[in-house]
Amino acid sequence: MNLLYKSTRSGDITVTASQAILKGLSSDGGLFVPTSIPKLDVSLKDLAGMSYQETAYEVMKLFLTDFTEEELKDCIKKAYDSKFDTEEIAPLVKADGAYFLELFHGATIAFKDMALSILPHLLITSARKNNVHNEIVILTATSGDTGKAALAGFADVKGTRIIVFYPKDGVSPIQEKQMVTQKGENTHVIGIKGNFDDAQTGVKNIFGDKELEKVMNDAGFQFSSANSINIGRLVPQIVYYVYSYAMLLKNEEIAEGEKINVVVPTGNFGNILAAYYAKNMGLPINKLICASNENKVLFDFFTTGTYDRNRDFVLTSSPSMDILISSNLERLIYKIAGSDAEKNKNLMDSLKTTGKYDITPEMKAELADFYGNFTSEEETAQTIKNLYEKTGYVIDTHTAVAANVYKKYAADTKDDTKTVIASTASPFKFTRSVMDAIDTKYDSMTDFELVDELSRISGVTVPQAIEEIRTAPVRHKTVCEVNEMTNEVKKFLGI
């Protein structure tokens, strides 16, 4: 069966998977969603005997139905190779009564590698399938991790260029160093004077600029996105939830069919949406636990049914979650609105004009799968310290937000279902916050002294991604105002 994709804002637009990947965002401003969520067609028992790559094929073939078996397997093979520092790709670590799904063993030590190592291959294959001869310009806003993972994925990929915007003062020192030292003649990194929401809105506005689209086309370019709004990002993320369940089954931690909970530290909502899709495919997931930091717009939404971005933006120690407009939530809103594009569009228009919207009681009832809570800065630090002192296991700030919310969930509900926590970044990416949490005596050390000390106390080798930026020269120095973003794009492309 050929699975098609439609826009969350229009009932008229239907495209193939490869067309959805190429476009990134629908021309009406909506996100592409599958016309139905396919069911897993292999048993959980069979999945338990598969490698990560084999699992990826079994999941992704159901969503990317216009890719041949050979094309899809080739993309998977190129993505999940020695770029990852473990054959398991996404190992499960049991600590303090939960299972941490380590999604940071790729080239840039954050979970974005899981999808962004395959997206360039999906994109190039999609362009070939649709006879696209324009050069593809990847345009992305990042809160810290997507940017570097996208840059690493697309660097020197023929037929592509990539432009990444990031909030100049809104990422960790290591995250910034990773981006501004990026090699590749086709890469361009720009700091903006604003926060992530400003960057994301600016990128969406550029995508929606019809005049610019025409100028680009005349010059032989077309835009696509590497943000989690691209369905080519979302589908690979479903894989690791299926894989984590299969690993629990293989390791005899659960019985076949036994339900698990999944906890995800959430900013843009894509990572937890992937878990929701996995549940809808038939994976035995009980609760989807949505963990927020002090920018708790999602916690408030799940609690009240009102999404309201009109609030102070808080810079936290978990910057990849410092987001007030969770773009991927639109896909869930569309679904709980009964796949009513008009209803969804009205809510999104309200968000754009007033900064808020209210869902109906009927829609709120559809959110029963979800539990939301948040973690304060103090609780985040305490969670890192407690886990380290109790087990010797060191987690990053984002994972700590999730681990703390899980504790709150367990206390609130007395639910003892076995639980997988998405561990979304290596502690080496946020060394200062992590080490300060463990002991304030580390405060006087430089960033790289902290890296070495973290390696010593955790017994974990310093990742290659960190080693290579110790002495790397800064290649990208551009900083601009939000209203200059379009001009910077034109300048880089020479149009």
Q: What are phi and psi of 35, to 5 degrees?
A: -65, -25
* 3-state SS, residue 489: helix
**Amino acid at site 230:** N
Beta pairing, strands 92-95 & 98-102: antiparallel
Is 73 an active-site residue? no
DSSP, collapsed to helix, strand or coil, labels residue 363 as: helix
Helix axes 377-391 and 431-438, enclosed angle (nearest 10): 70
- CB contact at 8 A, 272 and 288: yes
Provide the 3-class DSSP secondary structure of residue 52.
helix
Q: From residue 440, how far is each of 64, 293, 434 by CA, in Å?
A: 49, 21, 10
Give the C-alpha separation, 90 to 53, whole Å: 11
Identify the active-site residue in 6, 23, 112, 204: 112
What would the two tokens of residue 58 be?
């079994």
Integer Cα distance of 136 and 231 in angstroms: 16
The answer to whether the CB of 400 falls within 8 A of the CB of 407 is no
Cα separation values, 384 from 90, 397, 434, 435, 485, Å: 21, 7, 7, 9, 37
Across-strand partners of 6? 14, 33
H-run or E-run covering 337: none
Rounded Cα gap, residues 386 and 396, in angstroms = 13
DSSP string, 171-224: S-HHHHHHHHT---TTEEEEEESS-HHHHHHHHHHHHT-HHHHHHHHHTTEEEE
Question: What is the pairing mode between strands 98-102 and 135-141?
Answer: unpaired
Q: Report the DSSP beta bridge partners of residue 480.
A: 192
Q: Is 269 within 8 Å of 332 (Cβ atoms)?
A: yes
Query: DSSP letters along 218-267, please?
Result: HTTEEEEE-STTSHHHHHHHHHHHHHHHHHHHHTTSS-TT--EEEEEE-S
CA distances from 11 to 4, 28, 33, 49, 225 (A): 13, 11, 11, 40, 22
Residue 386 has phi, psi (to 5 degrees) of -60, -45
Which are the catalytic amino acids?
A: 112
